[in-house]
Amino acid sequence: MKKIISLSIFCILLSSLLTGCWNRKELNTLAIVQAIGIDRTEDEQISISAQILKPSAVKGQAKENTGVWTVTSTGETVFDAIRNASLKTDRRLYFQHNKVLLLGEDTAKKGIIPLLDFLGRDHEVRRLSYVFIAKGKAEDILLGEHEQEKVPGKAIESLAKTSELVSHLPKRDLEDLIETLGSKTDSSVVPGIELIKKEDKDTSKNVVALDSTAILKKDKLIGWFDHTETRGLLWVLGEVKSGVIVVKSPGDETKNVSLEIIKASSKITPNIEDGKLTVTVEVKEEGNLAEQLSEVNLTKPDPFQELEKKQTAAIEAEINAAITKAQEWNVDIFKFGEEFHRKYPQEWPELEKNWDQEFPKIEVNLEVAAKLSRIGLGTTPLKTEESNE
């Protein structure tokens, strides 16, 4: 009997320690944020644009062209601006389902580290959100349209994922960006996004599209890489997953040939000899012959080997374009500093102090090995009747 009483008392005491769902959040009290835009106002206030999912969209009952509405508020800090949004919406902003973070172009030129402190510190913010720098204001991008999605934030997330098909833009999330910004030597790259005006009969739309790559020195935007320069960067980083290389056809330099990138890898090897820093970048790429506009039989040994040489030369040209511009701007976007640190830990403290002087002088040696594996179902090109005569 005493054991039963003791056990009962123990259970009562134990139950008093259970707090239940003390921090549960009811859906009807939350404004579910799908995308965040950050800009600075003319008087240096911080402007937050939050793209909020409409309750009708959650239930699949939305009849409007868009399943979201965008609320904008300002404050002295990011957190202050977010809390001030409560003056315009009757629900508290909820960030755990956020998909996209946009930073305005002028805002990025002034430095983005102060703007990321709250986002990196708050437990509710999703650190896997894709990050973009807007050409113009972030708010304008959130007000743009997309042909296939009612939720623009979802559309931008999908654009980030499908960008791997061409490897013309990097894919960066908040976690990646914060980690790179914490480095004393590495510089950050962020995909760019803009609005393109689309004319359709009597209507005009501002459609969201990805374009160019933002290059940051420390945490400030200093310029943009085009698609060729960006893919040159991605070759070095080993981030090329797919894409198309267009070269001139052997035997007919007036016509183009498309080579599909199947897989690629890279290796960076730093070296210090007699105080001189060099880096060897090895890139291996395998592709397929996807399309030719010429009527030359490219499957014959000589044209085929020439095609592989053109494939190699195209990759080298892209990498050289990226390296030349990065060294001119003095931005280590290739993470060469990390490689020297890893291989030369004793020499690194002195190198790190003078990295701005060392990086532009690094001699980069390229070793590109590209080959073609497949030619498709046809072994000879299609020809016109005239060419068959």
CATH for 387: 3.30.300.210
Last residue of a domain, one of 189, 223, 257: 223
DSSP category for residue 224: E
Q: Is 119 in the same domain as 255?
A: no
Q: What are the backbone dihedrals phi and psi of residue 343, each rounded to the nearest 5 degrees, phi first? A: -85, -30
Tell me: do 154 and 242 sit in the same domain: no
Q: Say whether both 212 and 282 belong to one domain.
A: no
State how far the Cα of 353 lies from the Cα of 336, in Å rounded to an integer: 15
9 belongs to a structural domain? no
Residue 154 inside a domain? The answer is: yes
Same domain, 294 and 363: yes
Cα dihedral across residues 287, 239, 153, 73: positive or negative: negative
Q: What is the 3-state secondary structure (H, E, C) of 275-302?
A: CEEEEEEEEEEEEEEEEECCCCCCCCHH
Instruction: Tell me the torsion sign for CA atoms 352, 355, 356, 357.
Output: positive
* 52 phi, psi to nearest 5 deg: -105, 135
Q: Measure the CA–CA gap between 344 and 241, rounded to whole angstroms.
A: 30
- Name the stretches of the chain with pLDDT < 50: 20-23, 62, 384-389
User: Does 219 lie in the same domain as 205?
Assistant: yes
pLDDT of residue 23: 46
Residue 367's domain comprises 226-389
Q: Tell me what pLDDT residue 134 has.
A: 95
* Residue 269, domain member (yes or no): yes
pLDDT in tens, 74-130: 999 999 999 998 888 877 888 888 999 999 999 999 999 999 999 888 888 888 899
> Which residues on neighbouring strands pair with residue 247, listed in sequence order?
257
Q: Return the residue matching tokens 């397929």.
A: 288
- In order, the DSSP letters of 13-30 are HHHHT---STT---GGGE
Residue 22 lies in a domain: no
**161 and 286, same domain (yes or no):** no
Q: What is the pLDDT at residue 385?
A: 44
- Strand pairing report for 363-374 and 252-273: unpaired
Provide the pLDDT for residue 224. Answer: 97
- Please check whether residue 3 lies inside any domain of the structure: no
What pLDDT, on a 0 to 100 scale, did the predictor assign at position 12? 57
Number of domains into which the chain is organized: 2
Q: What is the pLDDT of residue 22?
A: 39
What's the predicted TM-score (pTM) here? 0.86
Domain boundary (223, 240, 271) is at 223
The predicted structure's pLDDT at residue 153: 78
Per DSSP (E only), the strands in the chain are 30-40, 46-53, 68-75, 92-94, 100-103, 130-134, 188-200, 203-217, 220-225, 243-249, 252-273, 276-292, 363-374
